[in-house]
Amino acid sequence: MTKGFFTDSTLCIGCKACEVACKEWNQVPADGFVWTGRSYDNTGSLGHSTYRHVKFVESVRGGLPAWDFSSDVCKHCERAGCMEACPTGSIVRTEFGGVYVQPDICNGCGYCVVSCPFGVIDRRPEDGRAFKCTFCYDRQKAGLQPACASACPTESIQYGDLDELRARADARRLALEARGIPDAVVYDPTHTNVGGTHAIFLVRGPVTDYSLPENPEMPSIRLRGGWTSALLGAVVIAGVVALAF
Amino acid sequence: MAVEFSTDRPPSPLKPPVWTWEVPLYFFVGGVAGLSAVIALAASLTGEAAATVAAARGVATAGAVVSPMLLIADLGRPARFLYMLRVFKWTSAMSVGAWTLAVFSGATFVALGLWWLAPDGPAWRAALAAADLTAAGAGLVLATYTGVLLGATVIPVWAAHHRMLPFEFGISSLGAAASLVELLGGFTVPLNRVAMAAAAIETALWVYRARKPGSGTQGPRTANHAPRTAHRAPRTAGLLSGPTALILRLAGLAFLPARAGAAAAAIAGSLLLRYGWLAAGRAKV
């Protein structure tokens, strides 16, 4: 049964309980204390020791300042760049539909880091392995919600069957429209080779304000062009050597 | 009261590569070793001087020893290096490369052993030929796949050049391999031909790039375009392995010491090319 996250940022109050709960449950190490100067966001981004990141988005809306909050997380892509790139087979799909890094197999090659179009996964320097949101795989197996969903006081982070969450997101968008909020969009990139994600978002305004790429592509889209170039190179090299000798 | 909230664009979400100096050095060493094996095969088949064959085999084998060491050193958990061979995945250029290196190393050692021991008999000769062919085939992949590896990522400047990098890496390694075998085993006519052809192709690439800055880029446009300075090191590398090496090679037809200079330029250019592209990828993500 495919599970998912639906993060409705119109309900988010920026309390960061999700960040704290995630760190506590997964025993994630501290990853620095930096005043970023970006509103109350001193976490900065998702990374090897941050699996939930609350974004504070300042913008101007209708001539007035607007302040939106959204809790970012690993997208658990339907077709995941990190998983396709992983040469050890460490990154796998779980029975709940999440993308999971097996920490006893990862040897820290770093190829997943440059294969994620959302910039989620990273290598932890002191440890050597790659880390990202586990979807609280251990909690899922025990029939519980992920820690962030459990901790969220406004139910901005919702967890459940992906189909139901997608329906809920669309319904919520329409409900907001009816209430005079026309700029809410559901972020679920099904139009690229990622093929949709298991963590969908409802955000107000342009998705790029939330550091969400409009057209995230899994990098294996460039494999055919790359190998063709390699083949051409090999043919030219073999030809040159054969003719020269 | 006017309130000014910041509306500047948030930083790019992409993560920069975590690779350090071992990786571009491996790209260079692996490429030179791989194509030295191709040269060794051609040299043995056409009955070239023993010094040339020995030098080519030596470079290939030395590279087969050093390359895995470099890759293992770069891993976050080096002790788990064998996990690279747990699975084989076409979708991962790194998986294809790890297996190719394993095959290359094995074949190169077997070939060197058989060649050096030189046992009698058609079966042994056939085994040597098989090992040489395997090493050469794997070597062709080794010299080009690293370009595929870089291109099939989300790093904008690499992704934009995914159709050029494998070819360029291959040709660059060809010039460097021929040059290194020359310096170690002696200047011969076939090696000069190979190195000159490689330099000519590199020159053509360099001219094409110099005429149209940012040309040869393909792929989706991203929010953060890599600045032109990101291309400076690769362009300098191309200048060394292309026009510089070619001019010195042509001069070398009349004045032999110029060939040594050409060889040095090709090797330096090949090394700088790898470092330049890695630096470009890290520069602005």
Q: Which residue has the tokens 């510089």?
A: B244
> Can you list the positions of beta strands (E) in A85-242?
91-93, 99-101, 122-123, 130-131, 157-161, 184-187, 199-204
The hierarchical CATH code for the domain B22-283 is 1.20.1630.10
A103-123 residues labelled b (16+ CB within 10 A) or e (exposed)? eebbbbbbbbbbbbbbbbbbb
Q: What is the pLDDT of residue B120?
A: 86
Out of B154, B191, B194, name the one closest to residue A81 (CB). B154
Q: A177-215 pLDDT, tens per residue?
A: 999 999 999 999 999 999 999 999 999 999 999 989 999
Query: How do strand A3-8 and strand A199-204 relate by DSSP bridges?
Result: parallel
Residues of B with Cβ-Cβ distance to A212 under 8 angstroms: 13
Whether residue B5 has pLDDT greater than 80: no
A66-75, A165-174, A194-203, B236-245: range with lowest mean pLDDT: B236-245
Question: Chains A, B: CB contacts under 8 A, how many?
Answer: 236
ipTM over 0.95? The verdict is no
Chain A residues near residue B281 by CB distance under 8 angstroms: 114
pLDDT value of position B234? 87
Min Cα separation A156/chain B (Å):
22
| Structure-model confidence comparison of residues B231 and A86, the more confident one | A86
Distance, in Å, from the CA atom of A90 to the CA atom of B71, rounded to the nearest integer, reads 18
**What value does the mean pLDDT of chain A take?**
95
pTM equals 0.92
- The pLDDT assigned to A33 comes to 76
* Of B42, B84, B141, Cβ closest to residue A241: B42
CA Rg value for chain A:
20
> What are the residue boundaries of the structural domains of chain B, listed by start?
22-283
Quote the minimal CA–CA distance from B148 to chain A in Å: 5
- pLDDT number for residue B3: 52
- pLDDT higher for B232 or B265? B265
- Residue A204 CB-half CA count within 13 A: 21
Closest residue, chain B, to A129 (C-alpha): B76
Question: Which of A108, A226, A237 lies at the smallest CB-CB distance from B38?
Answer: A237
Of B9, B84, B170, the CB nearest to A87: B84
Indicate the residue type of B7: T
**Of the candidates B84, B248, B269, the residue with the CA atom closest to the CA atom of residue B169:** B269
Nearest alpha-carbon partner for A68 in A33, A46, A41, A35: A41
The string of pLDDT tens digits covering residues B166-185 is 999 999 999 999 999 999 99
The domain locations on chain A are 3-218
Give the minimum alpha-carbon distance from A122 to chain B in angstroms, rounded to a whole number.
7
Record the tokens describing residue B20, joined without a space.
């350090």
Inter-chain residue contact A234 with B77, CB threshold 8 Å: no
Which CATH number applies to A3-218?
Answer: 3.30.70.20
> Averaged over A57-68, what is the pLDDT?
91
- What pLDDT, on the 0 to 100 scale, is given for residue B222? 40
Alpha-carbon gap: A127 to the closest alpha carbon of chain B (Å): 7
